[in-house]
Amino acid sequence: MRTKTLIERLVHNDAVKEDPPEIYGWRVFALAASACFGGMLFGMDMGIIGGVLELDAFEADYNLTERTKANLSSNIVSVLQAGCFFGSLGIYILSDKLGRKPSLLISAAVATLGCIIQAAASGKYGALYTGRIIAGIGVGAASSTTPLYISENVPRAIRGGLTGIYQLFIVTGIMLAFWINYGSSLHISGRASYIVPLVIQALPALLLFGCMLLNKESPRFLAKQDRWEEATQTLCRVRNLPADHPYIQVELADIAAQLQYERELVGGASQKDLWKEMWLIKGNRNRALISIGLMVCQQMTGTNAINYYAPMIFKNLGITGDTTSLFATGIYGVVKVTACLAFLLFVADSLGRRRSLLWTSIAQGLAMFYMGLYVRIAPPDTDKPVPPAGYFALVCVFLFAGFFQFGWGPVPWIYCSEVASARLRSLNVALASATQWLFNFVVAQATPRMLKNVGNKGYGFVCSGDRRIGSEANP
C-alpha cells in the first residue's frame, strides 16, 4: 500500500489510481532492474573505453602516437557499434521465435565472451577488434530486447518510468566506468591499469545472465505462442495477484483481444510480410519513421561523443592532466545519473513525451552553443589557469548531461517500445535500436577527427545545430 501511495504522488495519471496496490510489489521493480543490466553493459563499455584510450600503458602497448591516435581511437571505439548494429537486428528474429528471456541470456553470454577477448588482447589489434565486435553483438542484442521485455511485463501506469530505467542503468554504467578508470589511473600501474577496467566491464553481462535465469518469460510472448497457462502463471507472479482476480482477468482479456485483432488483420505473416506491413501501411510506416528519427536525433546530440571521449573533450576545454580530466569525467557521470533518476521519479509518466523532447532540445542546444562559442573566441591555453568563462563552459557540459536525461536520453526508448502495435513491437524496437547503433558508429568515427581538425568549437556548433533541428522536427 505504501508503494502505491508513493507512486500516486509521483505518477499523475488515472490508471495508477484504479490499479490494485498488490501489482506494485517488489517483483515488478526487481524484474525491470534485473533486465536493465543489459543497459548497464552498454553504458560501462561506453565509459570504460574512453578512459582506457587515455592511459599511458594502453597507448604504449597499442602504439598510439599523436599522428595515429585519432584514427585508431575512432576505429577501436566504433568497431563495437558495428557489432551492435548487427546484433540489434539479428536478435529480432530470435526474440520472436525463442522468446525475450532466451534472447537476453544469449546476449549476456556473447557480451561476456567479447569482454574477455578484449582484456586478453595485450597489444594485438586483431584480437581487440574481434573482442569488441563480439561484445557489440551482445550489447546490441540486449539493447533491442530489454525495453521490449520490460514494456511487456510491467503495469501500464508505470510502463514509461520502468522502461526508462533502461536509460538509468546506461548512465549508471557510464558513471561507474568513469570512476573505475579514475581509480585505475591512481592505484594501478602498468598493463593492469587498462586490463582491469576491460575485465570489469563484463560484470553487468554476468549479472544480466544470472538474473534472467531467475526471471520468467514475458506473459505477452507466451500468450502470442498460445501458452496461456504459463502466461497466466507468469502474470500472477509479477502482479502478485491470484488468477481469478478481476485485474488479471481483464489484462489477459486485453492481451487476447489485441492478439486476435492482429491475427485477423494480417494472418500468419512471415518476416517478409511483417516488413511489408511496417512500410506499406501508412500508420505503421509513420510510427517506424518517428522511431528512427528519434534515434537519429538522440545520437546527433553528441552525448555519446562526450561519453566515449570525455577525457579528451575536457582536455580541449583546458582541464589538464589525465587524472584531473578523468575526475571531471566522473563528475559528469554523477550528473547524468542524478538527472536521469529525477526524470524517472518525478516526470516520466506525467510531463509527456513530446514536451520533454521540446524543452530539452532548446536547453541542450544553448549549452552546446556556448561551449562552441567559448572555444572559438577564447581558445584555452594550457599554460594559463582556466578563466571563469572556461569554468562556465565546463558547467555547460554538466548542464547538457542533465538536460539530456530529462528528454532525449530515456524518452526515445520509452516511445519506441510503446508506439508500435504488439505484432510489430519487436521489429520496431529492433529497427530503432539498429538506427541508434548506426549513428552511434558515425559519431564514434567522426568525433576524434573533429576534435583534432576543428576542435571543440566545431563540435559544439554542430551539436547545437542538431538540437535546433530536433526541436523543430520531433513529433
- DSSP labels for 60-102? HHTT--TTTHHHHHHHHHHHHHHHHHHHHHHHHHHHHHT-HHH
Q: Does 116 have pLDDT greater than 90? A: yes
Q: Which three cell numbers stand for residue 161?
A: 518510468
Q: Inter-axis angle of helices 282-300 and 455-473, to 10 degrees?
A: 160
Whether residue 466 is predicted with pLDDT greater than 70 in this model: the reply is no
Give yes or no for residue 297 having a pLDDT over 80: yes
User: Number of folded domains in the chain?
Assistant: 1
Which range of residues forms the domain containing residue 79?
A: 2-473
pLDDT in tens, 3-29: 656 555 555 556 666 777 787 778 888
pTM over 0.85? The answer is: no
DSSP string, 236-280: HHHHT--TTSHHHHHHHHHHHHHHHHHHHHH-S--HHHHHHHHHH
Residue 111 banded pLDDT, cuts 50, 70, 90: very high
pLDDT greater than 70 at residue 45: yes
Q: What is the CATH number of the domain that holds 425?
A: 1.20.1250.20
Set of cell numbers at residue 320: 589538464
Q: Is 154 helix (H, G, I), strand (E, B) or coil?
A: coil
pLDDT digits (tens, 9 = 90+) for 245-281: 998 898 899 889 888 877 766 566 677 777 887 888 8
Instruction: Kindly calculate the radius of gyration of the chain based on its CA atoms and give it in whole angstroms.
Output: 22
d(CA 97, CA 190): 47
